Amino acid sequence: MPPFFNSRMFHFLLKVHLLLLCTAVSTAIATPVGMTYNPSTSKLLLPDHVSSSIQSLHFPVVRLLDPTPLSIRAFAYTNITLLLSISNHLIPSFAANRSAASIWLYSHVLPYHPRTHFSLISVGSDVISSANNDITIDPYAVLPAMRNLYLSLHELGIRTISVSTTFSFMNIMTSSFPPSSAEFQDPVNSMIIRPLLQFLDETNSSFLINIYPYNVYRIKSEIPIGYALFQENPHNFRDDIITGVRYRNLFDMMVDAVIAAMAVTGHENIPLIVTETGWPSTRNNEAQTEANRNYAEMYLKGLMMHLRSGMGTPLRKEGVAEAYIYQLFDEDEKNIEYSSGSIDSRSMHGGQNWGIMYDNMSMKYKIDFSHSERFFGKDKELVEMVLGLHLLVVAVLLLQ
Ligand SMILES: *[C@@H]1O[C@H](CO)[C@@H](O)[C@H](O)[C@H]1NC(C)=O
Ligand SMILES: *[C@@H]1O[C@H](CO)[C@@H](O)[C@H](O)[C@H]1NC(C)=O
Ligand SMILES: *[C@@H]1O[C@H](CO)[C@@H](O)[C@H](O)[C@H]1NC(C)=O
Ligand SMILES: *[C@@H]1O[C@H](CO)[C@@H](O)[C@H](O)[C@H]1NC(C)=O
């Protein structure tokens, strides 16, 4: 017997084998990526047609802004799971009276559940900044409104739908540099976010946040554009000097800033859902040269590739639980003021085009959004390689 086929060699091979097996298994979890669709700002299109179009693009999840019963029905008998984001204007009535929440559930959820799949209902969106513009919205009403909706769901015997609300990165974070030192802004942190995180923890729900690297890039001129656009480049990195972790894109850095801020409050294990992200394809003034189709396509391609890889972020191995691209169609400017899209996408860049589709439902970009097929293809190769190595190990063992 050749001397190098000894038991140490065998154990080494076994270790490599197990390591590869672990890699094959852990890469299998890609982040589901979906679309944001606002049925009330694309009134000319029938929700049924839009739903077919979304199915043909193979999106597993869809976020409906200000959902109408008709748009919810359009997703029945599909394999698409919905995240409903309800208008801020419903918050005061939900908070004041649980029966208002029940009435809403009777018209929007009960007739369609479980033929339409629902994962979560967001009670309002970006209430912190909306409150500055709209005195009728009291941010302190959000948690009571969420509680009432949660209790109404339970009264109806529905325990599979979570309840949360949506924040905007720019409106709740102090700073994201370095991510490990990030915190939520006060007084929003102690008055609103902490009690909210407690509720999310108790009810197994998720923290929802809109993340736009585009906005951070625009206020921090020292950031290279490639770092915001997921471009692999030896110079596109930032080190977190406290944790010693290296970041290769701005998106991960922003996600980890939120994770670090949650950890400060003692709730670092709550799943994180990116409810909006995207890049505008046209500018509304001369200065916004980065708002163009080329960059928008680069951002979305980079995002898809990154989330499909299942690599996660340095502070959270499994990465974000879901991410939703903002958005399916460009918004008509005259409708923007009624939209519940976040301040990040609306007031700061009103009139810019964030849609991935034209009104005639043809795609603006050449991007493959179907992430399962190709991903499992790559994974199959890895599994085959592991099996091959397994055979080798067995052969070596038999030779001994
Ligand atoms: C939903 O998924 C199941 C299982 O993967 C499949 O059999 C079914 O055809 C799908 N339905 C639709 C409408 O795509
Ligand atoms: C709550 O709403 C129901 C039905 O609309 C109404 O009968 C009831 O009086 C309301 N309760 C309060 C405290 O406003
Ligand atoms: C949350 O999840 C844990 C573990 O899966 C379970 O034991 C608990 O009952 C759940 N709580 C609620 C409120 O669903
Ligand atoms: C859809 O609209 C876009 C923009 O108006 C146009 O460029 C494209 O050719 C149209 N596609 C079809 C199939 O009509």
Domain layout of the chain by residue ranges: 1-30+372-400, 32-369
pLDDT for res 177: 80
Q: Which atom of ligand 3 is least distant from the CA of 203? A: 13
Of ligand 2's listed atoms, the one at least distance from the Cα of 97 is 1
Q: Which of 17-26, 184-193, 280-289 has the lowest mean pLDDT?
A: 17-26
Q: Does domain 32-369 have CATH number 3.20.20.80?
A: yes
Tokens of 132: 């500055």
Residue that is written with structure tokens 């918004």 in the block? 331
Which tokens sit at 161? Answer: 């739908």
Q: Residue 103: nearest ligand to its CA?
A: 2
Ligand nearest to the CA of 204: 3
Distance CA 399, CA 379 (A): 30
Whether the upstream peptide bond of residue 139 has omega within 30° of 0, thus cis, is: no
- For residue 215, how far is its CA from the centre of ligand 4 (angstroms)? 29
Q: 52-67 pLDDT, tens per residue?
A: 999 999 999 999 999 9
Q: In the predicted model, is pLDDT for residue 23 greater than 80?
A: no
Atom of ligand 2 nearest to the CA of 98: 1
Cβ of residue 78 lying under 6 Å from some atom of ligand 1? yes
Report whether pLDDT(250) > 60.
Answer: yes
- Ligand 4 atom 14, closest CA: 360
Ligand 4 near 363 CB (within 6 A): no
Within 8 A by CB and 6+ apart from 196, the residues are: 142, 143, 146, 165
DSSP lists the bridge partners of residue 325 as 35, 277
Indicate which ligand has the atom closest to the C-alpha of 100: 2
Give me the residues paired with residue 166 across strands: 125, 208
| Ligand 4 contacts CB of residue 338 (under 6 A) | no
Residue of higher predicted confidence among 4 and 280: 280
* Position 388 confidence tier, pLDDT thresholds 50, 70, 90: low
Distance CA 51, CA 55 (A): 6
Average pLDDT in the 255-277 region?
A: 97
Assigned token pair, 104:
């809403």
- At which residue do the structure tokens 């070596």 appear? 396
Question: pLDDT value at position 344?
Answer: 46
**Residues 358 and 282 sit within 8 Å (Cβ to Cβ):** no
Ligand 1, pocket-test mutation among 79, 372, 376, most atoms within 8 A of CB: 79
Most confident of 234-238, 345-349, 391-395: 234-238
User: Is 362 a pocket residue for ligand 4 (Cβ < 6 Å)?
Assistant: yes
Digit-coded pLDDT (tens) for 181-232? 999 999 899 999 999 999 999 999 999 999 999 999 998 888 999 999 999 8
Atom of ligand 3 nearest to the CA of 204: 1
Question: According to DSSP H, which parts of the chain are helical?
Answer: 7-26, 47-56, 69-73, 91-96, 98-108, 127-133, 142-155, 169-172, 188, 194-202, 213-219, 225-228, 250-264, 293-308, 371-399
Ligand nearest to the CA of 372: 1
Residues 245-283 as b/e (b if ≥16 CB within 10 A, e otherwise) read bebbbbbbbbbbbbbbbbeebebeebbbbbbbbbbbbeb
Give the pLDDT confidence of 123-157 residue by residue, as tens digits.
999 998 865 666 667 899 999 999 999 999 999 99
Q: What is the DSSP track for 23-85?
A: HHHHTT-PPPEEEEE-TTT-TTS-HHHHHHHHHHTT-SEEEEES--HHHHHTTTTSSPEEEEE
Residue 114, pLDDT above cutoff 90: yes
